[in-house]
């Protein structure tokens, strides 16, 4: 039995038992925090690019049926919305660049080595098992811990910014569809196609809010054009935003030990972001 909890994708070898008897590989491993990538670009490139190459080599030698890569919609930068898969690529920070280069590797292995692979560009995934530790990042983890502590929600900017939130079970269904299809060498957007404002999230969670400075280099709206994945893979989202938030709120105790972010600690965590990406 391979202990998946202690594996480092940068150290796996092509003949690693991790790949033995595997039909599909869903490659989610990597560093997902966005803000710290400004301070740690080398680590992000090492893990998210070279780590992906290591996994691709294992998949190639194991002759897996399909490799599905968890890509990121951040590759589009400040895109026009709704955003199609053929929108110009414009990463704004190292995390976005590293995830896009990982995607490029998947497409290259598909072309050169005939390793059938698809890339799924996730927009704003959320769910009841969202991570509760680590760096400042995703809004759900920040807000849920603040709600438990009866603290005001730290809303970035005026809260009118919208994000294309997609519930975790819809994400899972999208990845399975990308694996089971005979189609390969394709990129698919994965979002709800129905962006929601941060203010709407605050309304659903209930509580007071305070405003903190808007971060440069972040879009006012993320909005996936999901026409391609609907037409080619037959996938459609099933969980509404209101239903998804209710599911999370029902399990809010999961976030009781998560970091409690304040305006002061957020300012400290994002100082490099403002220094390098500010005008």
Class of domain 12-273: alpha beta
pLDDT reported for residue 2: 46
Domain range annotation of the chain: 12-273
The per-residue pLDDT string of the chain (279 residues; one tens digit each, 9 = 90 and over) reads 345 557 899 999 999 999 999 999 999 999 988 999 999 999 999 999 999 999 999 999 999 999 999 999 999 999 999 999 999 999 999 999 999 999 999 999 999 999 999 999 999 999 998 877 777 878 999 999 999 999 999 999 999 999 999 999 999 999 999 999 999 999 999 999 999 999 999 999 999 999 999 999 899 999 999 999 999 999 999 999 999 999 999 999 999 999 999 999 999 999 999 999 986
DSSP calls for the chain: ---GGG--TTS--TT-GGGTT-SEEEE--S---SGGGGT-HHHHHIIIIIHHHHHHHHHHHHT-SEEEEEEEGGGG-S--SSBPTTSPP---SHHHHHHHHHHHHHHHHHHHH---EEEEEE-EEE-TT---SSSS--HHHHHHHHHHTTPPEEEETTS--EE-EEEHHHHHHHHHHHHHSS--SEEEEES-S--EEHHHHHHHH---EEEEPPPTT--SB--B--HHHHHHH-----S-HHHHHHHHHTTGGGGTTS----HHHHHHHTHHHHHHH--
Residue 269 structure tokens: 């965590």
β 162-163/196-197 pair status: antiparallel
Task: Exactly one of 95, 100, 136, 167 is catalytic; name it.
Answer: 95
Dihedral angle of Cα 84, 180, 62, 54, to the nearest 10 degrees = 20
pLDDT reported for residue 137: 78
Residue 171 structure tokens: 């994400």
Active site residue 87: no
pLDDT reported for residue 5: 53
pLDDT reported for residue 201: 98
- The pTM (predicted TM-score) of the whole model is 0.95
């Amino acid at each position: 039995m391979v202990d998946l909890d202690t594996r480092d994708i940068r150290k796996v070898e092509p003949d690693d038992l991790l790949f033995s008897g595997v039909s599909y590989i869903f490659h989610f491993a990597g560093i997902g925090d966005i803000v710290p990538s400004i301070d740690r670009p080398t680590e992000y490139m090492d893990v998210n690019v070279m780590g992906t190459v290591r996994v691709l080599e294992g998949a190639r030698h194991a002759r897996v049926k399909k490799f599905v890569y968890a890509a990121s919609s951040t590759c589009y930068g400040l895109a026009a919305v709704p955003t199609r898969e053929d929108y110009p690529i414009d990463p704004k920070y190292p995390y976005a660049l590293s995830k896009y280069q990982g995607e490029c590797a998947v497409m290259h292995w598909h072309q050169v080595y005939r390793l059938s692979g698809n890339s799924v560009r996730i927009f704003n995934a959320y769910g009841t098992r969202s991570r509760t530790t680590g760096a400042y990042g995703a809004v759900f983890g920040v807000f849920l811990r603040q709600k438990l502590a009866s603290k005001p929600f730290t809303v970035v900017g005026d809260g009118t910014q919208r994000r294309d939130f997609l519930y975790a079970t819809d994400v899972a269904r999208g990845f399975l569809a990308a694996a089971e299809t005979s189609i390969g060498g394709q990129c698919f957007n994965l979002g709800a196609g129905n962006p929601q404002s941060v203010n709407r999230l605050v309304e659903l969670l209930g509580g007071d809010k305070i405003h903190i400075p808007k971060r440069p280099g972040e879009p006012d709206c993320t909005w996936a054009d999901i026409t391609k994945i609907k037409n080619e893979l037959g996938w459609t989202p099933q969980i509404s935003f209101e239903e998804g938030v209710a599911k999370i709120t029902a399990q809010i105790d999961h976030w009781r030990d998560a970091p409690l972010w304040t305006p002061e600690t957020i300012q400290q965590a994002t100082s490099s972001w403002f220094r390098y990406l500010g005008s």
